[in-house]
């Protein structure tokens, strides 16, 4: 089936998930919506997040998408059940990777990095109760991390200012015997170089594994497409086509190009 797959996030973070999908699904086409005007979702109410997600889903369905990938942990926890009940197309969503972190941990000490809204949500608390078992979960709301990615500075420039923003959320990691860091926001994988640089400075890099669920979600997306007979098996499109819309008043197309691993076509402003 040649219809595109819709992908969206509060901003540019969902491109980290899209990149995994591009690798796994080379014959698919994608439409990506970045709601950057309202980023981050992490400090918004559930009602606001639901309203924005409904508007974006309605737009994507008008573009005849065959499936929607909700590439935002905060939005998944806030409203994915409501979206699935409202819309007919399959909706694949991402959630924080607590389960794999728990399974992989030797020290049973895990650091969850996420937005404040994610950490405070009832669904996250349920997820924690379900998967934490005997592990101790340390939680950190990462103030300023989403903005670093949206500005285009954080994943490129390891200057003192940016490293201090990272340090503020990781400063106690060496004291708590943590061996798993969960990236509970799709923006955060773009900050992995800064995270690793800080871990190197504290001599903790070799003892810590960073958990990013982008690849797992891409695999789940492929499974859903196959199950619903939606997978494009035609090999006439060896290069992915990615159309991008953004709600931001100004868009840095060079930044979009650097974050997305496939050629993009910027389509304009999404209201």
Catalytic residue among 72, 79, 135, 169: 72
Q: In the beta sheet, which residues pair with residue 106?
A: none
Give the whole-angstrom CA distance, residue 243 versus residue 236.
18
Q: Can 72 be counted among the known catalytic residues?
A: yes
Classify the C-alpha dihedral 61-256-97-162 as positive or negative: negative
* Backbone region of residue 16 per phi and psi (left: phi > 0; alpha: psi in -120 to 50; beta: other values): alpha
Instruction: Return the SS3 of 250.
Output: coil
Instruction: Tell me the CA distances in angstroms from 20 to 110, 141, 160, 212, 213, one per residue in order.
Output: 24, 25, 30, 11, 10
> What is the Cα 18 distance to its own chain's centre?
9
Helix axes 73-86, 122-131, angle to 10 degrees: 100
Catalytic residue among 53, 135, 169, 185: 185
Q: How many residues does the chain have?
A: 271
Q: Can 185 be counted among the known catalytic residues?
A: yes
Give the whole-angstrom CA distance, residue 70 versus residue 91.
7
Instruction: Please report where in the chains the tokens 């389509």 appear, as a residue.
Output: 267
Could you give the residue numbers annotated as active site?
A: 72, 185
């Amino acid at each position: 089936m040649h219809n595109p797959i819709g992908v969206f996030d509060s901003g540019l973070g969902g491109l980290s998930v899209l990149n995994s999908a591009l690798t796994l699904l080379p014959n698919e086409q994608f439409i990506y919506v970045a709601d950057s005007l309202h980023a981050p979702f992490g400090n918004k109410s559930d009602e606001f997040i639901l309203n924005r997600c409904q508007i974006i889903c309605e737009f994507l369905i008008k573009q005849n998408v065959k499936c929607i990938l909700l590439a935002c942990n905060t939005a998944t926890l806030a409203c994915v059940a409501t979206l699935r009940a409202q819309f007919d197309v399959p909706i694949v969503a991402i959630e924080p990777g607590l389960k794999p972190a728990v399974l992989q941990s030797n020290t049973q000490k895990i650091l969850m990095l996420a937005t404040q809204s994610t950490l405070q949500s009832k669904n996250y608390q349920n997820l924690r109760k379900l998967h934490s078992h005997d592990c101790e979960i340390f939680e950190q709301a990462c103030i300023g991390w989403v903005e670093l990615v949206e500005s285009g500075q954080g994943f490129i420039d390891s200057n003192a200012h940016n490293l201090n923003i990272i340090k503020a959320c990781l400063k106690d990691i060496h004291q708590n015997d943590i061996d798993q860091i969960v990236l509970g926001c799709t923006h955060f994988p773009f900050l992995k170089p800064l995270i690793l640089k800080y871990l190197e400075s504290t001599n903790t890099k070799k003892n810590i594994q960073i958990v990013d669920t982008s690849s797992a979600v891409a695999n789940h997306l492929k499974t859903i497409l196959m199950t619903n007979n939606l997978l494009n098996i035609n090999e006439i499109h060896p290069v992915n086509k990615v159309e991008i819309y953004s709600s931001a008043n100004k868009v840095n197309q060079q930044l979009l190009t650097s974050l997305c691993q496939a050629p993009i076509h910027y389509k304009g402003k999404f209201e």
